[in-house]
């Protein structure tokens, strides 16, 4: 974890907490530009025969929307009032509640599946795993899901380099198989490739929606956003385009609660 070099453990903990709660300040931008999830990834993440799904750390409802579209009955739990407010505008009929992965405030054994998209790296894994095991029905399933940009594409790698400048925490965050207690069976993994089509100018907003940039002082954030604009104006694969495909792989990890 090279990005941890030079920071004390306390500093890192403080940074994590601030970063995890930063989304409150960027909710509308998040809703506007962050990617959704491909249906095949969502289907893989929820077990056959499931009806009730808890979308944990639901944010503005990017994954919640796909779960609802696929016919599941969804309860969304999200700690940020601003993110949850965006979700409620998008999906007024969804039961959206204030709560965290560690304390959902839901009853025991109430759902067949729990999804955690783009957020397992913000939770306390042992506490979250215990809480998820409590709310899952026997044999129910947890899925941790991430959209990862394909940095093998040159302009994507350059965009990524810009948005990570000065980010001491980012490289230390794990986007891989969650460590789960014995209560859960083996973790399975699948990858789904797809692309989000957006206007090149929105690459600036996509950068602005990231927790690292949300927390930067205005002048430092402006420097990074200007660098994104410069990339969009000059890179041969972006310059003058009306639309651009942002390539993603959706990494999904699932594990069953032992019956
Ligand atoms: C990157 S967003 C992902 C939102 C949504 N799942 C999506 O895929 O777009 C991360 C979300 O995790 C939430 N979050 C941070 N810490 C959390 C915790 N301990 N428990 C539950 N949610 C948390 C944030 O408020 C934020 O909405």
Domains, the chain, ranges and CATH? 9-256 (3.40.50.150)
Residue 17 confidence (pLDDT) above 90: no
Let me know: does 254 contact 191? Beta carbons within 8 Å: no
Residue bearing the CA closest to ligand 1, atom 15? 20
Expressed in angstroms and rounded, the spacing between residue 98 Cα and the centre of ligand 1 is: 12
pLDDT for residue 72 is more than 90: yes
161-202 pLDDT, tens digit each: 999 998 888 777 888 899 999 999 999 999 999 999 999 999
Pocket (CB within 6 angstroms of ligand 1): 20, 23, 34, 56-59, 62-63, 78-80, 83, 100-102, 117-119, 122-123
Shortest-distance atom of ligand 1 to CA 35: 9
CB 160, CB 189: distance < 8 Å: no
Confidence band for 57, pLDDT divided at 50, 70 and 90: very high
The predicted structure's pLDDT at residue 259: 83
Dihedral of CA 94/98/102/107: which sign? negative
Q: Model-level pTM?
A: 0.92
Identify which of 79, 84, 146, 170 to mutate to test ligand 1's pocket (most ligand atoms within 8 A of the CB): 79
pLDDT of residue 22: 84
Pairing outcome for strands 95-97 and 73-77:
parallel
pLDDT of residue 137: 97
Which residue's C-alpha comes closest to atom 12 of ligand 1?
57
Average pLDDT, the chain: 92
58 CA to middle of ligand 1, Å? 6
> Which residue has the least CA distance to atom 14 on ligand 1?
57
According to the model, what pLDDT value does residue 7 have? 30
């Amino acid at each position: 974890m090279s990005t941890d070099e030079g920071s004390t453990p306390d500093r890192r903990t403080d940074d994590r907490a601030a970063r995890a709660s930063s989304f409150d300040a960027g909710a509308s931008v998040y809703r506007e530009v962050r990617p959704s999830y491909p249906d095949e990834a969502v289907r893989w993440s929820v077990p056959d025969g499931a009806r009730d799904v808890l979308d944990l750390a639901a944010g503005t409802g990017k994954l919640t929307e796909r779960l609802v579209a696929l016919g599941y009955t969804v309860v969304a739990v999200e700690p940020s009032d601003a993110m949850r407010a965006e979700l409620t505008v998008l999906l007024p009929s969804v039961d959206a509640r204030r709560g965290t992965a560690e304390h959902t405030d839901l009853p025991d054994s109430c759902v067949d599946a729990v999804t955690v998209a783009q957020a397992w790296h913000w939770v306390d894994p042992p506490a979250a795993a215990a809480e998820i095991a409590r709310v899952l029905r026997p044999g129910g399933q947890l899925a941790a899901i991430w959209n990862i940009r394909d940095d093998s594409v040159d302009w994507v790698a350059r965009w990524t380099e810009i948005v990570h400048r000065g980010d001491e925490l980012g490289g230390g965050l794990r986007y891989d198989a969650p460590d789960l207690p014995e209560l859960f069976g083996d973790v399975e993994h699948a990858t789904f490739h797809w692309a989000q089509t957006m206007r090149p100018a929105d690459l600036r907003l996509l950068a602005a929606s990231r927790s690292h940039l949300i927390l930067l002082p205005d002048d430092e954030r402006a420097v990074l956003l200007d660098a994104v604009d410069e990339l969009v104006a000059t890179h041969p694969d972006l310059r003058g385009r009306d639309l651009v495909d942002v390539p993603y792989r959706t990494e999904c990890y699932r594990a069953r609660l032992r019956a």
